[in-house]
Amino acid sequence: MSKRYKRFRPPLWLFKLRLIIIQILFPLLCFQFIRTLILPTTFDVILLTLFAILYGLLFFRII
């Protein structure tokens, strides 16, 4: 008889934390986008890029 492979399931609090981070990150991303359109500095562009990458990774469940 073969053993069944048990896939690792993260704890429930980790799922909740991920959802909270996504909900907080979206308004920050919108605000940063508007700020970058009005006054584009290097710091704003880098911060917007980091927020967008983090949001995409969390949204598509890569992280």
Give the contacts of 28 (CB within 8 A, at least 6 positions apart): 51
Q: How far is CA 9 from CA 12, 13, 21, in A?
A: 9, 11, 19
The tens digit of pLDDT for each residue in 12-60 reads 999 999 999 999 999 999 999 999 999 999 999 999 999 999 999 999 9
What is residue 49's predicted lDDT score, i.e. its pLDDT? 97
What is residue 4's predicted lDDT score, i.e. its pLDDT? 72
Is residue 32 within 8 A of residue 51, CB to CB? The reply is: yes
What is residue 29's predicted lDDT score, i.e. its pLDDT? 96
> In terms of pTM, does the model score above 0.85?
no
**Pairwise CA distance, residues 39 & 31, whole Å:** 12
| pLDDT above 80 (res 2) | no
